Amino acid sequence: MEDLQRNKTLQMTKEGPTLFRNVHFLYLWTATLFSSIALAFFTFSQTWYIVKKLDLEASLGLVFIASSVPRLLFMILGGALADKFPKKNIMFYSNMMRVLLVASILIWLLTGDITLHTFVLFALFFGISDAFFWSADGSILPELVKKEQLTQANSITQMTNQSSLILGPMLGGIIIKFSNYETVFALTIVFLILAALLVQKIQTTHADKQEQDQSGMLTSIKEGILYVKKSPFLTTLLICSAFLNLFIIGPMQIGFPIFVKTVLNGNSLHFSYLEGAVGGGMAVGAMLVGILNVRKKRGAFCLVMLFLSGISFFLLSFSHELWHALTAGAVFGITLAMASIPLMAVIQTTVQENMMGRVMSLLMLSSMGLIPVSYAVTSLILATSLPIVLIMKGGALAVILFVIFVALRVPTVRTFD
């Protein structure tokens, strides 16, 4: 009887519709769509306002640093809370906090001239909200779908996230060109409210278990750290993630708008096209992962994809034509998604459910731990008048060499199956 049920489950998984008949997964999926578009709207508009309107491109890193530092400080706390309380509530209140923040910026913009200091101030609060939201969002999926469906579920949600990176910047660029920034921020508020309402409709199967966890917060955090330290694979993954973000995120986040303005001589639409190309590539990569459903030699597969992402980012820095930059950006997005999604599914299927929030928060902490440093270093180098092209080339080469080092010297990752 048990074998029959297992075979039936496997057959239903292969056929696919079971996942889309899960109404609570659909609520999460739709909420992900709205919140991703909203944040893409806001991030694009804020970045382009600072670069184009305020003409403070070298100071752009201050805003990214201001949002990153609170994420680092509160991420582990967010993971511990996600293991204690219903994750959907944490996501709901985090989204509503974002609504209030964007509404405040909109009012500020309507009543007076907004400055760089305004964006820096609000970025601090956005970082706090992100710390709690991401910890809950990254660990809620295993409570909604079966383990054998996690790879497909991750690929669907990631494809939605990355598709929003196409739609968000493109629509944002069009609205800014033909309307104004106030319209973009107003739409951001509407989408965030819709996302919050949808999240509240989700019902998970482990809420009661979470509420029964009465251990102290510090004890809970220590348990999560010790759990990760006992796993060589998880420990190595955290170190790799930290290093890669040091050399990629700063040159990409700060570099793209400057690259479009100074090298490609483009405008807000061209910037949105480049952002959209990377987001579209990641959506395609997520879709390919869902179709391939990689289950064997995942460590080696991810290393190859990371190596190719470094190569494509390096080639992007040589672009002088928009089509060349868009092509390289799309390949970069494809390979980056195909490297990250299988690893996410591995973590979600192997980590204990009562530790999921803390492990995911530590993973996010490692991935973002050096991002403020990356922003700061990129901004400081830009202040010395070094061209953004050289900064992008240097970051790409560092990633390529690091992946080769891990492949040759860290067998834990290379041989992981």
- Residues in the chain, overall count: 417
User: Rounded to whole angstroms, how far apart are CA atoms 101 and 107?
Assistant: 10
pLDDT of residue 208: 43
Task: Determine the average pLDDT of the residues in 252-279.
Answer: 84
Burial environment of residue 16 by CB neighbours within 10 A (0 to 12, 13 to 18, 19 or more): exposed
pLDDT of residue 294: 66
Domain count, the chain: 1
CATH of the domain at 239: 1.20.1250.20
**Binning pLDDT at 50, 70 and 90, where does residue 6 land?**
very low
Q: What's the whole-model pTM score?
A: 0.67
User: Rounded to whole angstroms, how far apart are CA atoms 40 and 240?
Assistant: 26
Task: Report in angstroms the alpha-carbon separations of 117 from 59, 111, 123.
Answer: 10, 16, 10
pLDDT of residue 133: 87
Residue 295 backbone dihedrals phi, psi, to 5 degrees = -125, -15
For 133-143, what is each residue's pLDDT tens digit?
A: 887 887 787 78
Task: Determine the average pLDDT of the residues in 186-199.
Answer: 93
Residue type (1 letter), 279: G
pLDDT above 50: residue 15: no
Range of the domain at 78: 2-414
pLDDT of residue 331: 94
**Binning pLDDT at 50, 70 and 90, where does residue 314 land?**
very high
pLDDT of residue 367: 66
For 144-173, what is each residue's pLDDT tens digit?
A: 877 777 777 777 777 777 677 667 777 888
pLDDT above 60: residue 206: no
pLDDT of residue 3: 47
Task: Determine the average pLDDT of the residues in 310-320.
Answer: 92
For 83-110, what is each residue's pLDDT tens digit?
A: 788 888 999 999 999 999 999 988 988 8
Task: Determine the average pLDDT of the residues in 294-309.
Answer: 81
Residue 2: both structure tokens together: 């048990």
